[in-house]
Amino acid sequence: MGFLGKMRIVCAISLIAVSLWALLLPPLFPYSTHAIVNTKVVTIKARDQGRIDRLPAKQPTLLKAGDRIATVTRDLAKIQRELQEREFTRLKLKEQLDSLDKSIAARERRLRDAEQEMSSTRASAGLVVEQAHKAAVEKVRLYRDGLEEKKANEKRVAPLFADGIVTAAQWSETREQTIEAEKNLVTAEADLIRLRSRLDGFRRGAGGGQTEDAMEGLLGRVGSYEQELSALRIQRIELNAELGEVESRIASAKSFSEVERTYDLTTPIDGVVWRRQLVNGETLMEGQSVVDMADAHSLFVEAFFRRDFMNSIAIGDRASVYLIGQSRYVEGRIADIQVQERTTKDPNIINTISVDASMLRVTIEIAPGVLAPENIGQLAKVLVSSGKGGLPERGLIWLSFILRTHQ
């Protein structure tokens, strides 16, 4: 047998060996059924009702954080309707406040009459309420100091809210703290007035059981009037706060109708305008989704493996990724493994599903800068190995990709 014949035999044996090895690829290197370049999604929503305009063209558009996505022209008719409704609410609140003021004035007169009657029939009961009175005085002082502090804080926050630095929720929380402090002070002052009245009566003194019975009845009347006054004053504080909130919203709505007829939707991240929910000229509601942004800095590869590879894949393993269409390889590390018992929806820009509910979903981290936004949605093939990636192993991986790609 000549040299050429021997070479043919060697080549035939090599081809048979490679073919047999190709059949044993799954146990050697876990291989994905399908994979795709994916990233996180951020949905941009409308802040107010209106008409959408200046949306970018349909092709994916790369934007920097703070760039304008679209312009919304507010619905002025809606603002005018809200103004009318709030103006009606404001008038109702003012009427309720006037009615409360009259009720407070009437009860104050009754309280003064009762106190004058009580002062004319004051009798000594031999009781000492000095400690209670001192405690009440200290309590009023503390609540008054607290209220001054809350009012000062409200004055600091008010211009920030007007400038849009502080949100409506934060401003509302600041107002609620002030209102609560006012309620506490009103209640404490009412308690102090009641204790001071009793203390004055005990100090002036009077005699006789009949006088003591009369004093007890008068004290009951005074206490009842004070409680009613306290409840009415608290109600007035709440109504006044509600009126202030309505007037603030009226002023805000007027500024919208006069100045801010439009506002810009901006992106909070560097990313690609990937999916548009609306078209230019379409009307939208407050809170409605406008576009889905693909995060340009969180690209990863999402791969699916048969469950047979569960014991062959571990977090931290090296993953070799072949990008179909670009014919290039990138390296990564396995960051997460999930068993797909049921369909799951991760907040990713591309919603992928496995072909089999029992497959493994594997997330592969890629070093920053290796993948670009234009790679999003690109299909790939993935081989997983736990070695350090020496030259022999790299050769086997390369050959595996060639064989798998042409199977």
Q: What is the pLDDT of residues 247-296, one digit of tens each?
A: 777 776 666 554 457 788 888 999 988 888 888 888 888 888 898 999 99
Please write the tens of the pLDDT for every residue from 43-94.
Answer: 999 887 788 888 876 666 788 988 888 888 876 666 666 667 777 788 888 8
How far CA 30 is from CA of 18, 161, 318, 384, 386, in Å, comes to: 18, 57, 11, 5, 10
- For the segment(s) 3-40+298-405, the CATH number from 3.40.50.360, 3.30.70.890, 3.30.70.20, 2.40.30.170 is 2.40.30.170
Please write the tens of the pLDDT for every residue from 23-33.
Answer: 554 446 688 88
Q: Which residue has the tokens 């406040």?
A: 97
**Alpha-carbon torsion, ordered 200, 206, 211, 215, to 10 deg:** 10
- In the chain, the N- to C-terminal Cα span, in Å, equals 35
Residue pair 277/55 in contact by the 8 Å Cβ criterion: no
- Residue 328, strand partner residues: 323
The tokens for 353 are 């599903």
Nearest to 349 by CA among 290, 268, 295: 295
Residue 248, pLDDT score: 76
Mean pLDDT of 357-373: 88
Instruction: Give me the sign of the Cα torsion angle 121, 118, 110, 105.
Output: positive
Domains of the chain, by residue range, sit at 3-40+298-405, 43-67+268-293, 76-258
Whole-structure pTM value: 0.49
- The Cα 229–Cα 194 span in angstroms is 12
Helical pair 168-204 and 76-120, crossing angle rounded to 10 deg:
10
Mean pLDDT of 293-319: 89
